[in-house]
C-alpha cells in the first residue's frame, strides 16, 4: 500500500508525505523524477507540518469531524463546492453581492470553464457554521 497525504490545503503548509514500506519508498526516492528534480521544502513548512501532526493531532481531528458534519448537513462530497449559475454576468453579479455581504467568493467564468457553466466557487473550512452557510445561500438566492 502507498498512502499520500497532501500538506498544502489540509495543514496550511506545502508539499506532501508518502507512507509505504521501505522497498517502495527506496524505489520512489531513486526513480520518481518529480522527487529527484524537486527543490527541498522550506524548513519552516516542515516544522509547521511536524508540529501539527505531532502536537495538534486532536485539534485536527476535531476540525475534521466538524467539517464532516457540515458535509452531511448539506449533502456535500468536498470542501470545494461549485455552485453552477450558468451565465457569466449573473455569476459575476452574485459574486459581488456575496462579497458585499462579507463572503469571499470567486466567480469562475470562461475560458476557465465552458461557456454556459459559470459558477461560484466556495471553499468551506471547519470554522464556518451551518448558519453562515444558510445565510450565504439566502444572500445569493440559491435554493430559497
Taking the C-alpha atoms of residue 130 and residue 96, their distance in angstroms, rounded to an integer, is 22
Tens-binned pLDDT, residue by residue, of the chain (144 aa): 999 988 887 788 888 889 999 999 999 989 887 777 777 788 898 899 999 999 999 999 999 899 999 989 889 988 889 999 999 999 999 999 999 999 999 999 999 999 999 999 998 888 999 999 999 999 999 754
Geometric angle at alpha carbon 115, from 113 and 120, rounded to 5°:
50
Question: What's the pTM value of the predicted model, to 2 decimals?
Answer: 0.67
52's enclosing H/E stretch is helix 43-55
Amino acid at each position: 500500500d502507498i498512502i499520500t497525504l497532501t500538506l498544502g490545503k489540509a495543514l496550511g503548509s506545502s508539499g506532501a508525505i508518502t507512507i509505504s514500506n521501505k522497498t517502495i519508498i527506496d524505489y520512489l526516492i531513486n526513480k520518481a523524477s518529480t522527487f529527484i528534480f524537486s527543490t527541498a521544502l522550506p524548513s519552516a513548512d516542515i516544522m509547521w507540518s511536524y508540529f501539527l501532526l505531532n502536537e495538534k493531532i486532536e485539534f485536527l481531528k476535531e476540525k475534521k469531524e466538524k467539517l464532516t458534519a457540515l458535509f452531511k448537513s448539506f449533502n456535500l462530497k468536498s470542501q470545494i463546492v461549485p455552485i453552477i449559475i450558468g451565465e457569466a454576468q449573473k455569476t459575476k453579479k452574485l459574486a459581488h453581492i456575496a462579497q458585499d455581504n462579507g463572503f469571499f467568493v470567486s466567480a469562475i467564468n470562461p475560458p476557465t470553464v465552458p461557456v454556459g457553466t459559470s459558477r461560484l466557487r466556495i471553499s468551506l473550512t471547519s470554522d464556518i457554521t451551518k448558519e453562515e452557510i444558510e445565510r450565504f445561500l439566502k444572500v445569493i438566492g440559491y435554493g430559497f
